[in-house]
Amino acid sequence: MAAEAGTLKAVGRSGRPYYVDMYLPDAVGGIVLFNPAGAAAATSLNYWRPPEDVVITDVSVATGTTAVGAVFNLSGAVINGGVIRYANFLNTLASRPTLSISVPAGSLLGAVQI
């Protein structure tokens, strides 16, 4: 297997959508990396800091990672309801579940693979 890419969609309090690219290393316990400005890579940041209060509404990932999912956290603390299973969020699924994960402005959103 190899590292894969994913996309996180969040909607701001203003209504603005944010699409943040994710780099998913091929390892359980691996840190998900984020890049809001383009393709995430092994050198991207291990967090995303939203500029306004946002709600994560969707995550889409490619198939093929060793990990089965991820746990989102804010500054290292697990977010209640922030566990996703990749099989349910494949980018080929037209009917991915809708998420509703709140992230306050300026906080450090991170994720660890499980």
Distances (CA, A) of 17 to 39, 45, 53, 80, 91: 17, 20, 11, 22, 18
pLDDT digits (tens, 9 = 90+) for 17-63: 999 999 999 889 999 999 999 899 999 999 999 999 999 999 999 87
Over the chain, what is the mean pLDDT? 94
- Residue with the bigger pLDDT between 57 and 3: it is 57
Number of domains in the chain: 1
Q: pLDDT for 78-95, tens place per residue?
A: 998 899 999 999 999 989
User: What tokens appear for 69 in the block?
Assistant: 């999912």
The helix (H) or strand (E) run that includes residue 1 is none
Check residue 2 and give its pLDDT: 79
Q: What is the pTM of this model?
A: 0.93
pLDDT of residue 26: 86
Residues 6+ apart with CB under 8 A from 71: 78, 79, 82, 83, 111, 112, 114
Query: Is the Cβ–Cβ distance between 59 and 7 less than 8 Å?
Result: yes
Range of the domain at 95: 4-113
Nearest Cα residue to 91 out of 1, 3, 5, 2: 5
- What number of other Cβ atoms are within 10 A of residue 100's Cβ? 9
